[in-house]
Chains A and B, each alone.
Chain A
Amino acid sequence: MRSGGFFVFTHLPEGNPVNAPTTVLEKHPPATAPVRERLVVIGNGMAGCRAVEEILARDCGRFDVTIFGAEPRVNYNRIMLSPVLAGEKAFEDIVINGADWYADNAITLVSGDPVVSIDRETRTLTTRSGRVEPYDRLLIATGSDPFIIPVPGRDLDGVVTFRDLDDVDRMLAAADKGGSAVVIGGGLLGLEAAHGLALRGMKVTVVHLMPTLMERQLDEAAGFLLKSELERRGQTIVTGGDTAEITGANGHVTGVKLKDGRTFDADIVVMAVGIRPATGLARAAGLAVERGIVVDDHMVTSDPAIMAVGECVQHRGQCYGLVAPLWDMCRALADNACRDEGACEQPTGYAGSVTSTKLKVSGIDLFSAGDFSGGDGAEDIVMRDASRGIYKRVVVRDNKLVGAVLYGDTADGSWYFDLLKKGEDISPIREALIFGQAFANGGPSLDPNAAVAALSDDAEICGCNGVSKGQVVASIKGGACSLDAVRSTCKASASCGSCTGLVESLLAITLGDEVQSGPKTLCKCTSFGHDDVRRLILEKELKAIPQVMQELHWKTPDGCASCRPALNYYLLCAWPGQVEDDQKSRFVNERMHANIQKDGTYSVVPRMWGGLTNPRELRAIADVVEKYNAPMVKVTGGQRLDIFGIKKEDLPAVWADLNAAGMVSGHAYGKSLRTVKTCVGSEWCRFGTQDSTGLGVKLERMTWGSWMPHKFKIAVSGCPRNCAEATIKDFGVVCIDSGYELHVGGNGGIKVRATDLLCKVATEAEAMDVCAAFIQLYREQAHYLERTAPWIERVGLDHVKAGLFDDHDSVTRLAARFRHSQLFCQDDPWAARAAGAHADLHQHLAEVRPLQMENA
């Protein structure tokens, strides 16, 4: 069929097709209407044909219909191309209207000969072959075109889009040869293409610009689950990947190169980054076109003789790329097109559509509808079931369901979608809404506890520890009056925590108001405390924030300003070098690598190892102060120089200047090693017992850049006179004639606390090892935002000593873990920023100048 030529199927009405003549005669007596109106349709796709079907259903004798299709074949269901690619369907299965439909309805189909122009004056259109067709009414249903990103190599052989059957054939031909495929675009279409190619045996990489797959349909949590599942199936998923070019050899594609330098081999590249309404013909004909062809509620364009429908139109400012709106559009179009002249009743027309999405990838259940951007007045109801891989989130605003995201169990998708479209008041079923239709409508009562109460005594509550409802209730009746007490007595909810909600319900049912609140949780987003979260991150090998939130049943979709930074730290500490530092979960100072001040400017503290400096560094600092007009320079308590009043957009340039003089970030802004303060020690001081300055420099070289639960300060004093004030630091060294006293847990803050003596050691090397080991113990055990002083008060000095010294090689092992972690931390963050990393954090979007605005 595909020879590059074109085909004309002509079926004129003289063949007396089934249902035409008599009706025609009745409705249009020969004396008044001898000729039927000529309706010409440009586009043989789903929209054009559906519109014709709707018209025929209302008045099959009104129009002579001619349809022009660019593709040389009959009308098929474009959204089923994915199953064809995946091998689940054949082309014959997805044909909507075969040749007999055109024949039976006396429709002329001109396929493979695209329309090239419309002349509205003469009411004719012209095709590529020169055929001229007159019309009385014209319907434009040209759909949309795939968007091609303008990168070098986009024209290479082997770069395809995913729009029509020809594209599918090209992909199948490539898959037959095996090899690698890169799909650019991790939206609905891209993932379906990737799935099909993977099933056909290709090694598939998906490159997606955004951090979350299908970000227009999914939130971060569901996007993460989807990514994990696709990776489990062997696809490589690259999020945040910005394509720089498509590489080739001998005119054929060989790979894809990203802007960050990564490259991926490819024998075929599928471009699936989005679609654009195909408006070229309409625009050239002078119709009103914005993003799409502008239509009114009756799908009529700015020319009353011309209608348009489908993905090519823009209705009330909205363009649609999904199939569902088509049906309503076509109904409205046909109602109006078949209206009798002079009929007083105006059809209601099309009022826009609320859309929903399902991904057609077998084995992955995913549903999304409506608005789930959350925000004010919107209440999120989240349910997670980690053991079954389920995430459900519904968004309620003003007692109406406004959005839903379902992953893993989409059985209630259509019910939610229905509630959403109808805009019904859901307050009577609000409590049970998240449990789905069966429970919300059919349960014995709307109290979610009722479902739990109805369970039999031997029903399993905790799958991890095999605890039945009867056992949980017995332990509650036996005195376990809090979640924590239940966890420690019968072990229910003590492992993965997915049954926490059930146990809480049982507590409420059994005790009523006497339930005691459990231990302090990490924040309001979770029922787990800090220690549980840290333990579970290790046990379950959790390596990303959305994964922690899913596995530990977070109650909010994306956490809060308390848990996000905590989780980011816990992950970095648990898996050095294996997890990505999530910048958006960092407090401003750590994100900007400087200290925010009350006026929104920043202060900058370059590192001075052990408090030592030299003329070159001092000159560079002086130059920066003058060059950027810094209003103040101050010596800090930690023996550093602090440059104040730097604007965020100047920070990278300031850092470049300081880097040039050999200085790196001083981390005065971080929950990290801040400073090592020293006195001059035995090198100069007549009382000095050891080289305190030298040891201070060594300690700072070892510990700089490390992330901690909170800020961490070290000092080294050369003698017990303690000029460096080592006994109010997190880790303090006081040199004595026989060696080094090591002190911990000091604090000079709101609540002054002198250090506890940890131990005495004889050599510098031992002092360094104990320092590294103590820091690692603190890093691994303290709660986020807990300084060493309150940590030691909470767990006791004996606990710390036991952790370090009970086992003879504990210090060695802890120190080794610290040094391993440091391998990934001791990169100067300033140098990266000065070289252009994260420029968006520093630059303004634009600047608005009033003059421009007023003249604009």
Chain B
Amino acid sequence: MMVGDWLDIGPVDQIAPGTARTLPVVGGEEIAVFRTQHGGFHALVNKCPHKQGPLSQGIVHGGVVTCPLHNWNISLKTGEAQGEDKGCVPVIPLKVDAGRIYLLRAAVLGQRAA
């Protein structure tokens, strides 16, 4: 297998619009991969900056996910909490090419606990 900068995590149609799925990283932080209603793809560490709620389980609307635990709204693009709330969750660079989703390998690895 070729060493690439990007990690292929499979075809886009694995994620229905308006939903998210998860990608556990052994020894690291689980990643949530989102697909918006309008076909945007984003990846975040699957932990709300507030109380570590699994963002993958929240309701996706516009470019925002609402955390299922305490309704914090987190931007899918920047990982930042919206409105009055303050906090930020790491964003994993993602690209879609030829119908497949790729995550930046270094960022996926970077989320591993030291």
Q: Which A positions have Cβ atoms within 8 angstroms of B?
A: 209-212, 215-216, 219-220, 291, 317, 372-378, 380, 556-561, 564-565, 584-589, 591-592, 596, 598-600, 648, 840-841, 843-850, 853, 856
Contact = CB atoms under 8 A, between A and B. Distances in A.
B24 A372 contact: no
Nearest to A546: B37
Contact of B23 (A587, A596, A847): A847
Interface in B1-47: 1, 3, 7, 9-10, 13-19, 21-28, 31, 33, 36-40, 42
A583 to B, nearest CB: 8
B13 A209 contact: yes
B23 A216 contact: no
Contacts of B3: 856
Contacts of A376: 63, 75-78, 80
Given A374-B38, A376-B75, A848 B23 contact: yes
9 contacts: A210-B17, A373-B38, A380-B62, A558-B38, A588-B58, A844-B21, A845-B15, A845-B22, A848-B25
A846 B21 CA distance: 9
Contacts of A215: 17, 39
Given A375-B40, A375-B42, A846 B9 contact: yes
A158 B89 CA distance: 53
Contact of A561 (B15, B73, B112): B73
Nearest to A649: B22
A565 B59 contact: yes
A518 to B, nearest CB: 22
Q: Count chain A CB atoms within 10 A of each CB in B18, B25, B59 and give the residue with the most.
A: B59
A270 B98 CA distance: 23
A219 B75 CA distance: 19
Contact of B63 (A219, A373, A565, A843): A373
Interface in B56-111: 57-64, 66, 68-69, 71, 73, 75-78, 80, 97-98, 105, 108-109
A216 to B, nearest CB: 6
Contact of A317 (B17, B62, B97): B97
B59 A561 contact: yes
Contact of A373 (B23, B39, B52): B39
Contacts, number: 149
Nearest to B105: A853
8 closest Cβ contacts across the A-B interface? A375-B63, A373-B40, A561-B66, A376-B77, A588-B68, A584-B18, A376-B75, A588-B57
Given A584-B17, A850-B112, 19 more contacts: A216-B39, A219-B37, A373-B40, A374-B38, A375-B63, A376-B63, A558-B62, A560-B62, A561-B58, A565-B59, A588-B58, A588-B68, A591-B57, A592-B57, A596-B54, A596-B57, A598-B69, A844-B22, A845-B14
Contacts of A559: 61
Contacts of B61: 556, 558-561, 564
Interface of B: 1, 3, 7, 9-10, 13-19, 21-28, 31, 33, 36-40, 42, 51-54, 57-64, 66, 68-69, 71, 73, 75-78, 80, 97-98, 105, 108-109, 112
Nearest to A856: B1
A40 B110 CA distance: 51
Nearest to B91: A376
A375 B36 contact: yes
A599 B80 CA distance: 21
Contacts of B27: 850
Given A373-B63, A584-B59, A853-B105, A557 B38 contact: yes
A317 B98 CA distance: 10
Given A561-B73, A598-B69, A845-B33, A374 B9 contact: no
A375 B22 contact: no
Q: Count chain A CB atoms within 10 A of each CB in B3, B19, B61 and give the residue with the most.
A: B61
B23 A846 contact: yes
B37 A853 contact: no
Contacts of A848: 7, 23-26, 28, 31, 108
A373 B1 contact: no
A375 B73 CA distance: 12
B59 A585 contact: yes
A34 B47 CA distance: 73
A589 B61 CA distance: 18
A847 to B, nearest CB: 5
Contacts of B7: 848, 853
B36 A373 contact: yes
A340 B114 CA distance: 59
A374 B36 contact: yes
Q: Count chain A CB atoms within 10 A of each CB in B7, B18, B19, B28 and give the residue with the most.
A: B18
Nearest to B62: A374
Q: Count chain B CB atoms within 10 A of each CB in A211, A373, A565 and give the residue with the most.
A: A373
B16 A584 contact: yes
A556 B62 contact: yes
Given A557-B38, A840-B16, A564 B59 contact: yes
Contacts of A850: 25-28, 109, 112
A840 B77 CA distance: 23
A774 B22 CA distance: 42
Given A209-B13, A215-B17, A856-B1, A849 B63 contact: no
Contacts of B15: 840, 845
Contact of A596 (B13, B68, B112): B68
B38 A291 contact: no
B54 A600 contact: yes
Contacts of A844: 21-24
Contacts of B26: 847-850
A600 B60 CA distance: 18
Contacts of B40: 373-375
Nearest to B63: A375
Contacts of A216: 39
Q: Count chain B CB atoms within 10 A of each CB in A209, A592, A840, A853 and give the residue with the most.
A: A853
Contacts of A291: 97-98
Nearest to B60: A584
Contact of B19 (A372, A380, A584, A856): A584
B46 to A, nearest CB: 8
A291 B99 CA distance: 11
Contact of A377 (B54, B77, B112): B77
Contacts of A600: 52-54, 57
Contacts of A378: 63
